[in-house]
Each structure stands twice: as C-alpha cells, then as structure tokens.
Amino acid sequence: MWYQKKIMNVVMVALVVITIVVPYERSAFAASPVVTDVRVSQRASKTRVVFEFTRDLDFKVFILANPHRVVVDMPEVGWQLPARPLPSRVGVFETLRYGLYKPGSSRVVVDLRKPAVVKKAFLMKPAGVHKYRLVIDLAGASKSAFLRQIKLPPIEITPAGKVGFDAPKAPTQKFARVTAPKPSQVSGPEVLSRSSIVNSVAKAALRLKPQKTRKKKKEAEFIDKDIEKLTLIFRPAPRKPLKKSQNVIKTIIIDAGHGGADPGTIGRSGIYEKHITLAMARELAKKLKEAGRFKVVMTRNRDIFIPLRKRVQIARDAGASLFISLHADAVKNRKIRGPSVYTLSERASDKEAAALAEKENKSDLIAGMDLSHESQEVANILIDLAQRESMNQSALFATQLVTDLKRRTKLLRNTHRFAGFAVLKAPDIPSVLIEMGFLSNRTDERLLQTAKYREKFSGGIVAAVRSYFSNVEQAQNQ
Ligand SMILES: [Zn+2]
C-alpha cells in the first residue's frame, strides 16, 4: 500500500533525524539555562521582580542612573517566556529588556519609574510548579539613597543559595563594579600624531580636563543632554598601503543597529528594529561579497549587544574604507515612511535629525552600560579636527546612496541629513547611517520584513558602494 510505504519513509527519516540531531540538541540544551517566566508584583511598598530559570546560576545586580535602571547580569541564557506581554508599570517597575550582552553573558535591564533601591536579591530553589527563581525586591527611595546604592559594587548572588545582599548591612561584595574605561584610557596619542595642530589643541584640551568636583555635574549633564558626544578609545587603525590599481579589495563594515538587550525601535506589529537591521545586514553582506572586490566585516552577525564605540573600533581595526550602519526609525505620525541617509555633523541639519541621533545614541544606556566615567570633552575636540576629511567623503557616498536608492524605492524628503551619531565617529573612515524606513508605518514595516524588498534595497546600497569607489579611484588617478 502506497500510504504504508509513505509512513515507513517518514518514520525512517524521523529516526535518522532523531539519531543525528537529538544527541547534539540534548547536550546543547543541557548546557544552556533558559528563562521561563518573568513576574512583577506589588505588595505594600515593595515591588518584587521574579525571574524563573531552568537552572541555578550566578547573578550580578546593580543600579544605574539617568535613566534609573536595575541591571541583572548572568551567564548566557535562552528565553522561552509564556505567550503574554511582558509586565509593565507595576510599582517602581516600568518595563524590561533582555538579550545577549556579550558572548557568554546575558543581561536584563529593568527601567524604573522613579529612583528605587534593591532591598533584597536572592535565589529560591524549585518548589511545586516553580523552578529556580531569582527574586529582586525593589522599593522607591529618595534620590540620595539611590545615589548611595549606585556607589556600591554589584550585588553578587551565587547558586549556593545564600542571600547575596540585604540592604542595611552591606555584605561581602567581591565583584568589581562594571565601569566604562577610565578617562586615562580615552586619550588619543595616534590622533595627536596626525598633525601638530591637532597636537597642540589636544594638549590644551587635556588641560581642560574637569576636576573631580566638577566632574560629577559634568557627567550628569553629559548623560542627560549630550549623549551623542560619546568618546572613542583610539588605538592606531591599521593603515593599508595606498595602491592606485583598480582592483584593490576594499573592506566594508556593515553595522546592524542595536542587538541583544537593546531592541531598538519597536514596530506597530511588535517587530524589533534589531531583527530588521540584522536581516538587511546579512543580505547586504552577501551581495557585497558577490560583487567580488569587497571584503565585508559585520559588527554583529547575531542577536547580541555591541557598544557603539566598539562598533567604531571594529571598523578601525579592520582598516575599513567604508562604514555603513543600518537602522529603522519610528515616529508618532504613522503616515511618514521611506528611507533616509545620515552623515555625521556636530550640528544637526534639523530638529528631527537631532532627535533621531539622540535616540540612536542611547543604545548603550538602554543596554545598561555605565557611562558615568566617560570624559568626552577631550576626545570631542580631537574627533572634530580629524574628522573633517572623512566627513567630506561620507557626504559624497551619501549623495551616491540617495541617487541609487531613489531608483529603487520612494525616499523620505530631505533624504540626506546630518546629526551627531556616535556610531559615525570613526575619524578616518567615511561613514553613513541609513534609516531604512519607519517601523511605525505599516507599509515600511511590512516591506522591511520581506526578502524581496531587502534584496532590492541592498542592491541599491551595493550600486552606490561601487560607484563611490570608482569615483574615488578616478580622482586618485587624475
Ligand atoms: Zn536604530
């Protein structure tokens, strides 16, 4: 009988699949713990946040200001939450984000509605239907109590089940506080060496370094208003010898915006910007590689958080000739749609561009990075000088992009705009940021999720990359 044969075939295939796949899958799953639930409840003045896990793990819990956040770090975990919306607006709890923070390490960021302190954080063993639980009790606190707790090292919670932290009596806190690099690491010797003008300005800038007392205030201002002026850590970018022949392999950086604990903008249907950008980045990488004369480096090729300055550093380490950052926006007016192209400028071309840069530059904050130790003034002056040249090149490439994208899709008005995007601040690499469309617009959101549109759109970028480099080569040969 034909159907018996067919059933036998299916069974055979299934058996083969089970024998091959299951042992691998089983070991893979056994190795990775999974978060199975997140619950938030309010009792009296206490907001309790509970995470349920398939295994017991090590945790680190700490708070950050501007905006007020609780950060929970843990080994890399998978997420299989129940099919219901994430909790929001319970007691001091506003919302939460989660994702891969770096390889081997996951992060949850809890946004607070007002200053709050961690009263207790502890692990509970499985009981009844519940698996391992991490319990964090939060309570609203005065600004000063909040700032006092910020100064403490992270709370460490170990699987031994001991209470890692009980607010009044500060316990053993072994871990060093996770901090951004010290200002001393954020100097720019190789930028200094670029020219004597830069050098002298840099020396003056170094003298401007704020004193300790002024520093706190400055930093607060920085985080509130000037977040776009993120600093870079300068290391010498490998210099490739200039060749004037036609077929020099150029390295192109493709930067998929956001990732991990930073989802980016959230679309009408709930789609995350970080997924849209990665899908386009992969398509673009494929196309550029097919074009033959480009080496492609992706700042990320999975759902992971990469700090903005790290993205720039990847480009410099690769000796890149072009940096393309991919994003998608969302605005209140749901009718607005279409892609636009941005290049760096300290002065934004218009209000919307400035607001957009501010939003995009919050990536590090959203993923729970502590930026309170940044010293941006020095680096800003240096970047400004060193960047003039690559800014011109960026503008040329942006113009080419607008031309080539226009042939394929309807663009936003004033398509090429300027603003202070942190991710465009490689001083020596022409860089553009493409907002591929608006996830707040139904058409854009749908288009960006189709392979066909991604193909068309990335085709436009590849065409622009090719024309840009042939123009550069022509100019060099003249
Ligand atoms: Zn974005």
Q: Between 452 and 210, where is the model more confident?
A: 452
- Cα end-to-end distance, the chain, whole Å: 77
Q: How far apart are CA 34 and CA 78, in angstroms?
A: 4
What CATH number is associated with residue 234?
3.40.630.40
Centre of ligand 1 from the C-alpha of residue 450, in Å: 19
Could you tell me if 316 and 384 lie in one domain?
yes
Cα angle: 448, vertex 450, 456; to 5 degrees: 75
Centre of ligand 1 from the C-alpha of residue 360, in Å: 5
Centre of ligand 1 from the C-alpha of residue 47, in Å: 31
**């077929």: which residue's tokens?**
247
Tell me what pLDDT residue 181 has.
33
Contact 312, 268 (CB under 8 A): no
Could you tell me if 273 and 419 lie in one domain?
yes
Cα angle: 233, vertex 318, 474; to 5 degrees: 115
Centre of ligand 1 from the C-alpha of residue 264, in Å: 5
Domain span at 161 = 32-166
Could you tell me if 323 and 228 lie in one domain?
yes
Q: Between 319 and 190, where is the model more confident?
A: 319
Contact 460, 404 (CB under 8 A): yes
One-letter amino acid for residue 49 of the chain: V
Tell me what pLDDT residue 213 has.
39
Cβ atoms within 10 Å of 307's Cβ, excluding its own:
20
Could you tell me if 162 and 198 lie in one domain?
no
Could you tell me if 217 and 253 lie in one domain?
yes
Q: Which two tokens stand for residue 224?
A: 């509130």
Could you tell me if 230 and 141 lie in one domain?
no
Could you tell me if 331 and 459 lie in one domain?
yes
CA distances from 101 to 21, 150, 258 (A): 28, 21, 11
Domain membership flag for residue 15: no
Domain membership flag for residue 180: no
Centre of ligand 1 from the C-alpha of residue 118, in Å: 31
| pLDDT > 70 in the chain, percent | 71
Residue 88 CA to chain centroid, in angstroms?
22
Confidence of residue 442 (pLDDT cuts 50, 70, 90): very high
Centre of ligand 1 from the C-alpha of residue 143, in Å: 31
- 367-391 pLDDT tens trace: 887 665 544 544 454 455 456 668 8
Could you tell me if 133 and 274 lie in one domain?
no
Res. 287: pLDDT tops 60: yes
Confidence of residue 160 (pLDDT cuts 50, 70, 90): low
Domain membership flag for residue 6: no
Taking residues 65-77, what's their average pLDDT? 90
Could you tell me if 91 and 224 lie in one domain?
no
Tell me what pLDDT residue 373 has.
53
Q: Which of 327, 323, 329, 357 is nearest to 228 (CA)?
A: 357
Could you tell me if 162 and 275 lie in one domain?
no
Centre of ligand 1 from the C-alpha of residue 378, in Å: 26
Centre of ligand 1 from the C-alpha of residue 11, in Å: 47
Domain membership flag for residue 17: no
Centre of ligand 1 from the C-alpha of residue 164, in Å: 36
Could you tell me if 246 and 355 lie in one domain?
yes
Could you tell me if 102 and 216 lie in one domain?
no
Q: Which residues of 69-101 are buried (b: 16+ CB within 10 A; e: fewer)?
A: bbbbbbebbeeeeeeeeebeebbbbbebbbbbb
Res. 55: pLDDT tops 70: yes
Q: Which two tokens stand for residue 6?
A: 């067919």
Centre of ligand 1 from the C-alpha of residue 414, in Å: 19
What CATH number is associated with residue 134?
2.60.40.3500
Q: What mean pLDDT, rounded, does the chain reach?
A: 77
Res. 215: pLDDT tops 80: no
Structural domain count of the chain:
2
Tell me what pLDDT residue 384 has.
52
Centre of ligand 1 from the C-alpha of residue 332, in Å: 16
